[in-house]
Structure 1
Amino acid sequence: MFFGAAFFIAVCMAGTGRTNSGQFVGSAACEECHETEYGNFKQFAKKAHSGESVKLMSGDLTEEELKECFHCHVTGYGQPGGFVSFEETPGMADCGCEVCHGPGYDHVESGGDSELIKGSLDMADCQTCHNPERVEAFDFKPLLYGGAH
């Protein structure tokens, strides 16, 4: 009986795109459908190259300090499909699209279902990383208002 009910639910939900795997895919997966946004992000956003800052400082940081940096300076650290190391996951070694918009696997696999990704961002999304506790000089210029999106 349980198998039948589970099978029925799986069949009814198949193809609906309403999954929540939490899997990261990397910014390159966004480029195909969001070419202009991706290009602007890569050209104008400092965070598109944020892993380089971490690499430069890594020799002066403890392992715990380095892990703290990864939460904001790379994509999906400690999450499925996310950053593992600069060598193993170079495509996740910067603060990419998914840091702000959330894991993109389900969105990509669904063919772009907008309900499976955070499309509209606000200042609260930026303050996950850009906050007084984390950044002493809280003088950043978010791309929300800079025209990259």
Structure 2
Amino acid sequence: MKKVLLSTIILTAFSCSLILFQLSCKKVAVAASDQTTTTQVGKLIYSKLIAPATGNSYFELWSANYDGTNQQKISITLPAGVSISGDAKLSPDHKTLFFGAYTFKSGVITKSALYACNIDGSNPHEIVSGTQNESFEANVAY
């Protein structure tokens, strides 16, 4: 009888310790709320195709208010032979522009790339490099 009582006490203590262990290791997932907000600047970014009477056509990037007022060219100085290939996208923080570009030599596209620069056109730099058989266009920035 003593052995049965002792083994019952030991099993009860062991069961209680398992329950306490399970409770102390309980996983609780608390999702942190993302309080990131973006300030709308009321600007749009667009490209203009410049087609001179003589010579090759090229794109320029411009900004304007939503109603079309305050149009301003975004002056981007790219390396020699590199031209913007189309539309640009603005980063969610409204500080960086992303756009496709290509290198044109002797009437042939020799390289394409994806570039980034500050919203004012400063600090242009290549972020994705390609070949003449590839084409890049910035679709979404998030």
Q: Give the alignment's TM-score, normalised by structure 2.
A: 0.24
Higher strand share: 2
Larger Rg, first or second structure (1 or 2): 2
Q: Going by fraction, where is helix more abundant, 1 or 2? A: 1
Higher relative contact order (CA 8 A, sep 6+): 1
